[in-house]
Amino acid sequence: MSARWTRRHVLDTDDWARDEIETVLDQTAAMAEILTRPIRKAPPLRGRTVILFFAEASTRTRVSFELAAKALSADVTNITASGSSVEKGESLYDTVRTLEALGGDIVVIRHGASGAPYFVAERTGAAVINAGDGWHAHPSQGLLDAFTLRAALGDLGGKRVVIVGDVLHSRVARSDINTLVPLGARVTLSGPPTLIPTAWRCGELPPGVTYEPDVDAALDGADAAIVLRLQRERQETGLLPSIREYSRVWGITEARVSRMRPNAPVMHPGPMNEGVEIDAAVAHGSRSLIEQQVTNGVAVRMALLYLLASSPMAPGRA
Amino acid sequence: MSLPKVVESFGFIDLHAHLREPGFEESETIATGSRAALRGGFTTICAMPNTEPTIDSPGLVAELIARAAASDGARVLPIAAITRGRRGKELADLVELAAAGAVAFSDDGAPVEDARLFRHALEYASARDLLVIEHAQDAALSTNGVMHEGAISARLGLSGIPAAAEEAAVARDIALARLVGARLHLTHLSTAGSVELVRRAKADGARITCDVTPHHLAMTDEWVAGSRAFAWDVPGSVARATPYDSSTKVNPPLRSLADVRALWRGLADGTVDAIATDHAPHHYDEKRVEFDRAPFGITGLETAVSLCFDRLVHRGLVPVARLVELLSINPARIMRVPGGSLAEGMPADMSILAPDLHVTVSAARMRSRSKNTPFDGWSLRGGVAALHALRP
């Protein structure tokens, strides 16, 4: 089933072919089945060590990877920023040397600097999974969003997905684009021009992507919406006049959601600011797939861990 | 195209180098930097004052000159700060600094933000027709930026430095230089818009000169994303490197291909007066960090001439005679320093160039104390065969 899988790391999905994405999604379906069993545990990673290196605060992604690794019987160890040598000023290089000496098979890294997982991957024998780096990429989120959308909509060919909000600072938006477009979806970005990369608004959009500043127009007839978290500091740094205005102009309300196709789903990578970028009624309403996203996240991460551990490029197998 | 086996040139003059002494001797010293210069074909280099302490007093200028005299490399000429401590608040003693031996003035790396103060700097410097060299960049627009703002920075999720950050400053600086009738040299210009602004200012008779660096002539912002292809390479024909390599992080940032082509046109039509290295050594562990935490800078003294031959001369973009103008005659004229000529009274500095010399760049074998170059291992055609420099 994973015959085509030859990757050594999962750093970004921007150069993935459609069949690689589908390999992961198919594998995810198999993993989701394991999670429905009475005993949610399978043995493929027994004897392997997964190191979760979270240099930036995160609860849901870290826990999701931890549950995924444990469900596959891996030994899991955590290195987090707070209370560790990272907080005491240790360089990323020295942390990597330590990780290398500890001898993990797979390193899952979350880091505030775009590109940090490449730095780690170049200097370690372990397989590296990017669990979110700066504004750059969050591959497992893009894959779980694709999995969740496919479960709701079927084939994504020709489907139009609206991504609303702070695209500029969003690794989720980038990874969603890199995953959904190869699967045939079209993506419409909407949000304040100050929160969209200027090059994208000025004619250099990635293939399959358009920009529509008017969120109502963007949502008209859409097949799904992904709402991004709005950081309050965007107002403080002059990118927005006020959080209130953002909420009025781009916030996702029930009235706005009704512009989409009947029952078109709404997703959010979390954590949400209810009443800012999304109304509580939408977040907890019948269109919301937000809880499914969390559940599917574990299965997607199991699939990635499994594929990396069994890849012909896995450490010790090359 | 047929070039002679050997070309005799006046010694090359770099009007923009960082030697890091005093204060950052782990990255470079006057001795190692001046030896790197000689190895790269430069017989004279002008040292930027962003050291610790800043070169902003006549005593420090004298000390630098004394240390340079004690070294055995290229001739080193000090550039002094425009403002005390390069803080952009009060003018340094420009006339006394010049009397002590400063050949020009620059707050390189920390452009003078206050337009009124910069106007006064230009105006005051005109008392002795002194040269102000500006790193033209609007600080508010470039804050937090780590690479050129465009489609690549959008894809990589890195904060951008827009071309407008440079062009807004270039437009301001030209307007101020014209207002007060002063000389102004704009260093390491990197964008199409900047070149066009200088082209128009020159046509209008403003006393503006400018330089560009070999790295801005040879690389694009694609290099940050891992490309190692040049403009004329067939896409996909050159192996890619790991993205986010901090050796491609430089300020001003590597720009778009359209900008690079505009710099070439500026070289060809005379808008660009000189090629300067902006040699910016950094200790290896400073650069061995996340991209956004790494300092800006690429070493240049030992790769500049070979890059210019390989990427400009052999591609037909710049004839050899023009290269000698850009690297020797014009820098001497702009800086008003000896060289760029073998007339009576000039130093007998010669660079013997071998246009077909096969050069393999080896960071490990560089004379510079720092190795932060993206060209390690590259094969380049053309270089320096020998030097003849008589120390004063």
- Domain boundary assignment for chain A: 18-137+295-310, 139-289
Q: Is the ipTM of this complex over 0.90?
A: yes
User: What is the residue whose two structure tokens read 């827009």?
Assistant: B162
What's the confidence (pLDDT) of residue A181? 98
Assess B292–A contact: CB distance below 8 Å, yes or no.
Answer: yes
pLDDT at A315 over 80: no
CA atoms within 13 A on the CB side of B165: 25
How does pLDDT run across A170-212, given as a tens digit for each residue? Answer: 999 999 999 999 999 999 999 999 999 999 999 899 999 999 9
Residue B83 structural domain: 7-388
pTM value is: 0.95
CB-nearest partner of B290 from A115, A171, A198: A115
Q: Is it true that domain A139-289 has CATH number 3.40.50.1370?
A: yes
What's the confidence (pLDDT) of residue A318? 36
pLDDT at A220 over 60: yes
State whether residue B222 is helix, strand or coil.
Answer: helix
The minimum CA-CA distance between B214 and chain A, rounded to whole Å, is: 26
Label residue A270 left, alpha or beta by phi (over 0 means left) and psi (-120 to 50 means alpha).
left
Q: How far apart are CA B63 and CA A264, in angstroms?
A: 74
Task: Please tell me which residue of chain A has the smallest CA distance to B152.
Answer: A199
Work out the angle between the directed axes of helices B257-269 and B192-203 (0-180°, nearest 10): 30
Query: What CA–CA distances, in Å, run from A20 to A4, A171, B13?
Result: 7, 20, 54
Mean pLDDT of the A41-45 span? 94
Q: Classify domain A18-137+295-310 at the CATH class level.
A: alpha beta
Assess B158–A contact: CB distance below 8 Å, yes or no.
Answer: yes
User: From the candidates B259, B273, B278, B310, which is the catalytic residue?
Assistant: B278
| CB < 8 Å from A in window 130-149 of B | 149
A93 contacts in chain B (CB < 8 Å) = 285, 288-289
What's the confidence (pLDDT) of residue A85? 64
What's the confidence (pLDDT) of residue B172? 98
The minimum CA-CA distance between B27 and chain A, rounded to whole Å, is: 19
> Are B156 and A115 an interchain contact pair (Cβ–Cβ within 8 Å)?
yes
Helix ranges (DSSP H) in chain B: 30-39, 58-70, 94-100, 115-125, 139-142, 151-156, 163-180, 192-203, 214-218, 257-269, 284-287, 304-308, 320-324, 330-335
* Full pLDDT tens readout for chain B, 392 residues: 577 888 999 999 999 999 999 999 999 999 999 999 999 999 999 999 999 999 999 999 999 999 999 999 999 999 999 999 999 999 999 999 999 999 999 999 899 999 999 999 999 999 999 999 999 999 999 999 999 999 999 999 999 999 999 999 999 999 999 999 999 999 999 999 999 999 999 999 999 999 999 999 999 999 999 999 887 777 778 889 999 999 999 999 999 999 999 999 999 999 999 999 999 999 999 999 999 999 999 999 999 999 999 999 999 999 999 999 999 999 999 999 999 888 888 888 988 999 999 999 999 999 999 999 999 999 999 999 887 765 54
> Are A199 and B243 an interchain contact pair (Cβ–Cβ within 8 Å)?
no
What's the confidence (pLDDT) of residue B135? 96
Instruction: Please tell me if the domain spanning A18-137+295-310 has the same topology as the one spanning A139-289.
Output: yes
State whether residue A64 is helix, strand or coil.
Answer: helix
How does pLDDT run across A117-162, given as a tens digit for each residue? Answer: 999 999 999 999 999 999 999 999 999 999 999 999 999 999 999 9
A268 — pLDDT class (breaks 50, 70, 90): very high
Q: Is residue B1 part of a domain?
A: no
What's the confidence (pLDDT) of residue A121? 97
Chosen from B224, B244, B291 to mutate, greatest number of chain A CBs within 10 A: B244
CB-nearest partner of B157 from A92, A119, A135: A135
Q: Is residue B278 annotated as a catalytic residue, yes or no? A: yes
A317 — pLDDT class (breaks 50, 70, 90): very low
User: What is the residue whose two structure tokens read 């500091």?
Assistant: A233
> Are A137 and B288 an interchain contact pair (Cβ–Cβ within 8 Å)?
no
Label residue A154 left, alpha or beta by phi (over 0 means left) and psi (-120 to 50 means alpha).
left
Q: How far apart are CA B281 and CA B370, in angstroms?
A: 5
What's the confidence (pLDDT) of residue B392? 45
CATH number of the domain to which B117 belongs: 3.20.20.140
Number of domain units in chain B: 1
Q: Is residue B20 part of a domain?
A: yes
Check if the beta carbon of residue B296 is closer than 8 Å to that of residue B215.
no
Tokens for A250? 């781009």
